[in-house]
Chain A
Amino acid sequence: MYSIPVIKVAPDGSASFLQGALHPLPPELTGPQRINTYLQSSNAGWSKTVFGYESFSTYNDRGVKYIFPAIYLCDGHKPSKKFMGYKAQFKRSQIEYYAAGIVRRETEFRVGMQKELNSFVHDLRRLSSTIYHQAVAAQKVIPNRYPQAQSLIQSVIASQRMLKLRTDVLDRSGSPIAGEENQHIFVYKKIDKVAKCFKPMAAERGINVNISGSSHSMTYGPDVLEIVFYVIIDNAVKYSPTNGDINIKIDETDDNILVHIESIGPTVEASEVEKIFQKGYRGVSATSSNINGSGLGLSLASDLIDKFEGKIKFSKIHDEPSLINVMHSKHYFTIEVPIRQSMPRRQY
């Protein structure tokens, strides 16, 4: 919340207008056309805008632009048109001081949050690692004649694997491939590993995670393919009705490895199909299902698949009868990555 109106423009050009809480702009100065005009001011500093009002722009250290639009200055130009209740209240120096304060505070907040997040992820990975290694050690010391104990340990290991993948998703959401080294990756091994992680949790809701087909080929890219499968299967489990099945099929063409993931979930309208891979987008039915979600997972999955020069596609098979007051349909995700078999020696 800001005292005076601000337009924030991200480095990719996306902009958001935030009305001033104490000193709002009059409606005549806030329509989409007007906002578009304010966005034209390209340089930092002061510039003249509609009806002779002035805008002030500044940038933070990440290239985010802050535009304080159409300000009626006490010590500035006289506007050619005045609006009821919109008076000159600020001097240039006051706006500049306020803008600098906002940028500084938001930067400090972001840096502080980043440190907190780093420390949180660090602790999470350390604890997760300890849980995993202790469970593996326990598996060794408990004799096989105690199958129940072995099964419980397997569940602990599966849960830890999920925790690790969830941490990876959190980690990569900010920076999908920070310094990630490319390598050859067995796709089957990755999907099998993720499916196994989900089995115990899915089984609690009567959901079967089935895997079929075969693939012996490798693809080439950063070691993040598990995250892609995690995101899709996590959604499938989360949104699936009780006793629903999740069917994973893997096969190959001459050039590609294909992974199909079929599940039942809240209907995705035809108009939404293109949008589900957009950052922050959640389908109407998914939102009304009251299941938590951020709309970031599929966007991350799509970004990661690009690194393999692969594709991720979504299709809807048919609508199912309404379940728990939400229309459901059968969903198909198809992940396609190129086969890259050769294992060259390390190049220096």
Chain B
Amino acid sequence: MFKPKFVSIESVEKQTSRKLRNLAVDKKRAAIQIGVIDDQNLPARDNLLNYGYKVIEVGDINRISDIQDYQIVLCDVMGVGMAFDPNGQGAELIKQIRKQYPNIYILAYTGNLMSNPQAVIAKERADSFIDKDADLEKWSEILDEYIDNVLDPVENWKRTRKNLIEIDTPTLEIIELESAYAKDISANDKSFTNLKKRIGSGGTSGVIKSIIGGLITQALLGMAGV
């Protein structure tokens, strides 16, 4: 019988989305750490904590690595990123986080005019955007969507694939990585044997290894069944 050489991510999509649907919302919310970059208190913080989100205020940051442990970052547009670019502020910070931690989901928020140049750039760079005065329904709608994304191994791979394409990774290498990842997800292999074997087989650059390392960390959250 014909056995395809490569397995595509679509082959595990049904299995993973069913698993994700069955997870309780409160467990999902409690599993994901959300870092808030803001020079002031986030007015929504206490209510979001009451809703079960793991929201942690980190203030303005001086090093991008300060947010490496968060899967989702809420980033204000104004008054932050002063250590990097006082003009670009939040928009510059988002650019730097995206560059160093491409797996982290960044949700920008602001009270500024929508036409404000910094807000426009931040919107383009972030994964999503929230008005500072949005109601809790809106906050939780967006946060739940991105928590699902963090916990969804297929979504994670698609995002990783986009990052790999952006750094000009050869197509064959992407297909091989996808295949190895899909096999591991399908087998619920928390050691990621196939994927680790593929990146350890030589010829894989340090940048790609780092991106795949981030992918494994996030995929493990979803596989843990929170």
Interface residues of A (CB under 8 A from B): 114, 117-118, 121-126, 128-130, 132-133, 136-137, 140, 160-161, 164, 167-168, 171-172, 174-175, 178-181, 345-346, 348
Contacts and interface: CB of A to CB of B under 8 A. Distances in A.
A160 B46 CA distance: 18
A171 B119 CA distance: 12
User: Chain A interface secondary structure, helix, strand, loop or mixed?
Assistant: helix
Contacts of B129: 179, 181
B123 A122 contact: no
Given A346-B155, A348-B161, A125 B111 contact: yes
Contact of A122 (B111, B136, B158): B111
A228 to B, nearest CB: 16
A181 B155 CA distance: 19
B115 A132 contact: no
Contact of A179 (B111, B120, B131, B158): B120
5 contacts: A123-B111, A140-B50, A175-B113, A181-B123, A345-B158
A137 B44 contact: no
Given A164-B133, A179-B120, A179-B124, A129 B111 contact: yes
A102 B116 CA distance: 25
B11 to A, nearest CB: 15
Question: Which one of A121, A124, A128, A137 has the highest number of Cβ atoms from chain B below 10 Å of its Cβ?
Answer: A121
B47 interface: yes
B78 interface: yes
Given A132-B135, A137-B46, A181-B129, A175 B159 contact: no
Contact of B133 (A167, A174, A178): A167
A312 to B, nearest CB: 21
A178 B149 CA distance: 26
Contacts of B46: 133, 137
Contacts of B40: 126
Contacts of B96: none
A179 B77 CA distance: 14
Interface of B: 40, 43-44, 46-47, 50, 78, 110-116, 119-120, 123-124, 128-129, 131-136, 149, 155, 158-159, 161-162
B132 A125 contact: yes
CB-CB nearest 5 A-B residue pairs? A125-B111, A175-B115, A179-B123, A178-B114, A129-B133
A118 B133 contact: no
Contacts of B123: 178-179, 181
Given A121-B112, A171-B113, A348-B159, A126 B132 contact: yes
Contacts of B112: 118, 121-122
B135 A178 contact: no
A133 B137 CA distance: 12
A271 B176 CA distance: 68
A232 B120 CA distance: 28
B188 to A, nearest CB: 22
A161 B116 CA distance: 23
B115 A174 contact: yes
A178 B115 contact: yes
Given A122-B111, A171-B114, A348-B162, 12 more contacts: A122-B78, A124-B111, A125-B131, A129-B44, A132-B43, A132-B135, A133-B43, A137-B46, A178-B119, A179-B120, A179-B129, A345-B155
Contact of B114 (A128, A175, A345): A175
A123 to B, nearest CB: 7
A348 B43 CA distance: 32
A128 B124 contact: no
A132 B133 CA distance: 8
B107 to A, nearest CB: 12
A15 B126 CA distance: 39
Nearest to A348: B162
Contacts of B132: 125-126, 129
A117 B129 CA distance: 21
